[in-house]
Structure 1
Amino acid sequence: MVRYELVGSDLADVRFAISPLNEVVLSLRAWRDPGRFPLHLRWVRSVHESRSALDHETLLALTDARLWTPDFLNPRPASPLTRLDDELASLATIDPALVARDLRAVHGAGSLPRALRGPAPRVLSRIIDALAGYWRRCFAPHWPRMRALLEGDVTFRARQISKHGLAAMFNGLSPQVRLVDATVEVRLRSRLRYTRGTNGGLTLVPSLWTINASTPISEAEPPMIIYAARGVATLWEPQPLAAPGALAALLGAVRAGLLVTLETPASSTELASRLGVTPTAINQHLRALRDGGLLVGVRDGRSVLYRRSPLGDHLVAPDPAAWPG
C-alpha cells in the first residue's frame, strides 16, 4: 500500500492533470496483453497496419510482464492542457542516472531487454524517437477524442468535490483508493510499500489505459495517482452523425452530418474512428464537400485537418439577415 499524507495546505493542493505521454506509454500495455484491455480492441485493430513501421523492440521493452512502466515515462503533468511535445522536450533533459534507475526498477539490473542496454543517454534518445513515431502514426489521429473523454472525467471529479467534498471524490476514483482522515491510501496488488507527505500537492491523473489505480514505483517521485477515467467503454463506439433534416435532404445524411461535426477541425482518420467506418469511405465524402466549397483542408504535420468553410458555416447555421431582401 502507498500512503500520501495530506497536511495543512496540501489538502487544498489536490489537482487534476492530463498527460499525453502517460497515455501513449500506458497504451503499450494493450500491445503486450490486449486481452486485458478488451474495450480498446477496436483501436488496437485499427492501428495494426500503422504499427508495422515502428520500433517494436524498443516500444515493447517499455513494459514488463506485470505491465509496469518506468517512472520517468510517467511524469507528473503540470496541467490538464499538457502537450506531448513539451513532455518529450522535458524528457530529453532527464538525468541519465534516473533513466538507468527506473529501467532497473521495472526489469531488474541483470535482465534489461536488448533495446534498453547501453549508455543511458543513447537509450533515452532511442526511447524518445520510438515514442514520437508511435504518437504520430497511432495516437495523434485519435487524441482529440481521447482528450475529450479525459477532460470530461476531470470535470466530473471537480463537480464531485464541490457537491460532496474531497473524501467522496477520492473514494469514487477507484475501489483501491480512499481518504482516511488526512491520508490518501492506495491499495496496490504489488508489494510496493511506502508512506510520504505530498510536499506541495498531490496530482490525480485520469487514464484510458489503467484498470487499477497506480502510483510511481519510487518514493522519491512527486506524489501522483493514475486512475481509470470514466466512460472508457464508450470511447471507440461509433457515434451517430446528427444533421438537420433539410440539410440531410440537400446533401445526404452522411455529408450533412460531417458538415455539422466539422465546426471543430478533424482528420479523416479521426472521423473514421469516431464513426466506425474506413478512412476511404470518409475521404470520398470529405472530397465532395471540399470540392463544393463547404470544407477547407489545412495540413497539420502528416495529417490534413478539415473544417467548415464560411459557406459551410452559412449552410449549417444560416443568418437570414445575410440574404438579399
Structure 2
Amino acid sequence: MLSELAFSADDLALTRFAVSPMWEVVTSFRLLTSGSTHPVHRTWVDQVRPRVAVAGLDAGWLAELIPSNGYLPDFLTPPPGELAPTLATELAAIRATSADHVLADLDLLGRTTPRCQALRRDPESRLAQITEEIEAYWELALAPYWAKIHAVLDADLFHRARQVAEYGVGHFFNDLHSTLSWDDNTLRMVRSHCGISRETTGPGLLLVPSVFAVNMLTWSRSPQPPQLAYPARGIGTLWEHRPVTRIDAIAGVLGRSRAVLLTELESPASTTELARRTGVSAAGVSQHLTALRDAGMVSAHRAGRSVLYARTAVAESLLAASA
C-alpha cells in the first residue's frame, strides 16, 4: 500500500517533533510479547519479561489491545501537546477519549473478546482500568530505564533538527526511513496496512521517535495532525555496558560505597541483589540508596514485592563525565 501525505506551506509550518511515553509503552509491549528475540533489546527483554509475567500483565488489557502486528488502537497514543509530555498527562488524555472514538478504534481492531465487549459497553470505567494497568507496566518495564531511553530519544531529536536546519525538510524525510520518500511537496510511505492521506487527517505532522519501534507506525484521526512514529537512531548503544574507569574521582565526592553502587546500577537492581554483588550489608545498601535518591541520583520502582533502583539522568551524566 502506498500512502501519500501532501504538504502545503501551512502543513510544513505545523510539522513538529515530540517524545511520547505512550508510544514507548505500545511498541515495547508489542516487542516484549512477540515471542521473538530482538538483537538490540535482548538485555531488556530478558530482565523485563519475567517481571511482566509474574504481574500477569502479559494476559491483561494491554495484551488484548496490542496485537503482535497490525493495527494499534489510536486512543492508546493520543497526540502529545508538548515536546515531552509526562506519562500522567498522556494517561489523562486516554481517560478523556470519547466513547465514539473508542468504538471506532475497536471496530478497526476487529476483536470480539469479552474484554473488548466490556470496553464497548462501558468505555469510561474500562479506560480507567486500562490506564491503571499501563501505570503498572510502566513501573515494571520502562520507568527504571527511562533515563537511558530518554537520552537516546533526545539525541535523535537533536540530530533530526540539525538535518532540517542544514539540508532542509526533503533531505530529512528521505533519510528518516527506507519506506519514506519526499518529492513534489508530498511524503510517500510504502505501508502494508493503515494508510494515511491528508483527506483523513488534520493539518501538519507529528513525528515521534521510538527506541522500540521496529517499523514506521502511523496514527490518523481528524481533525488532529497525523502522527508518524519512527525507529530512533542510536538504539545500538542503549544497552551497552559502559565501564566507569575513574571511580576514584566519584568516590572522592560521594564516598566509595555510593560510587560502587552507582556503577553497579548499570541495570536496575534490588537492595538484596546489590548487597550480594558489592558485599555491603543490605542495611548499608538501603541507607546509601536513600541518600542517593534524596540527591536525585537514583529512582525507586516497585516490582511485585521488590523495589528496583535505577540510575537517573543526573547519575548517568556524572558517570559519563568521569569515564
TM-score, normalised to structure 1, is 0.77
Partner of residue 195, structure 2 = 192
Q: What are the superposed Cα offsets for residues 176-204 of structure 1, whole Å, 9 maximum, x if unpaired?
A: 11221211122112263544386442111
- What SS does the corresponding residue of 2:161 show, helix, strand or coil? helix
| Deviation of the 1:89 alpha carbon | 1.1
CA distance in 2, matches of 1:254, 1:187: 54
What amino acid does structure 2 have at the position aligned with 1:297? R
Task: Find the structure with the greater CA-based Rg.
Answer: 1
The answer to whether residue 55 in structure 2 is matched with residue 53 in structure 1 is: yes
Moved more, 189-198 or 121-130: 189-198
Partner of residue 150, structure 2 = 147
Q: 1:100 to 1:199 in 2, by over 3 A?
A: closer
Q: 1:219 to 1:3 in 2, by over 3 A?
A: farther
Q: What are the superposed Cα offsets for residues 44-85 of structure 1, whole Å, 9 maximum, x if unpaired?
A: 110133211144222211222424311111222123321001
| Deviation of the 1:220 alpha carbon | 5.8
What amino acid does structure 1 have at the position aligned with 2:85? T
Native 8 Å contact 2:11 2:205 kept in 1? yes
- What SS does the corresponding residue of 1:3 show, helix, strand or coil? strand
Q: What are the superposed Cα offsets for residues 192-250 of structure 1, whole Å, 9 maximum, x if unpaired?
A: 35443864421110011222212126566531111100111221122222426666799
Partner of residue 9, structure 1 = 10
CA distance in 1, matches of 2:107, 2:116: 10
Which consecutive unaligned segments of at least 5 residues does structure 1 have?
A: 262-267, 308-312, 318-325
Aligned match of 1:223 in 202, 223, 226?
Answer: 226
**What percentage of residue pairs aligned between the two structures are identical?**
29
The answer to whether residue 113 in structure 2 is matched with residue 117 in structure 1 is: no
What amino acid does structure 2 have at the position aligned with 1:43? W
Q: 1:254 to 1:204 in 2, by over 3 A?
A: farther
CA distance in 2, matches of 1:82, 1:31: 24
What amino acid does structure 1 have at the position aligned with 2:292? V
Partner of residue 19, structure 1 = 20
CA distance in 1, matches of 2:252, 2:87: 42
The answer to whether residue 92 in structure 2 is matched with residue 92 in structure 1 is: no
Moved more, 190-199 or 64-73: 190-199
Q: What are the superposed Cα offsets for residues 76-115 of structure 1, whole Å, 9 maximum, x if unpaired?
A: 2123321001110121111022112112212x1xx33333
CA distance in 1, matches of 2:260, 2:105: 48
- What SS does the corresponding residue of 1:237 show, helix, strand or coil? coil
Aligned match of 1:272 in 267, 270, 282?
Answer: 267
Partner of residue 38, structure 1 = 39
What amino acid does structure 1 have at the position aligned with 2:114? R
CA distance in 2, matches of 1:24, 1:93: 18
| Deviation of the 1:291 alpha carbon | 6.0
Which consecutive unaligned segments of at least 5 residues does structure 2 have?
A: 313-317
- What SS does the corresponding residue of 1:44 show, helix, strand or coil? helix
- What SS does the corresponding residue of 2:187 show, helix, strand or coil? strand
The answer to whether residue 206 in structure 2 is matched with residue 203 in structure 1 is: yes
What amino acid does structure 1 have at the position aligned with 2:146? W
Native 8 Å contact 2:260 2:278 kept in 1? no
- What SS does the corresponding residue of 1:272 show, helix, strand or coil? coil
What amino acid does structure 2 have at the position aligned with 1:59? L
- What SS does the corresponding residue of 2:292 show, helix, strand or coil? strand
CA distance in 2, matches of 1:34, 1:98: 30
Partner of residue 322, structure 1 = none
CA distance in 1, matches of 2:93, 2:85: 12
Q: What are the superposed Cα offsets for residues 5-26 of structure 1, whole Å, 9 maximum, x if unpaired?
A: 2112322322110100111122
Matches within 5 A, 1:282-293: none
CA distance in 2, matches of 1:294, 1:112: 48
Native 8 Å contact 1:104 1:112 kept in 2? no
Q: 1:250 to 1:184 in 2, by over 3 A?
A: closer
What amino acid does structure 2 have at the position aligned with 1:10? D
CA distance in 2, matches of 1:280, 1:290: 9
What amino acid does structure 1 have at the position aligned with 2:55? A
CA distance in 1, matches of 2:248, 2:201: 55
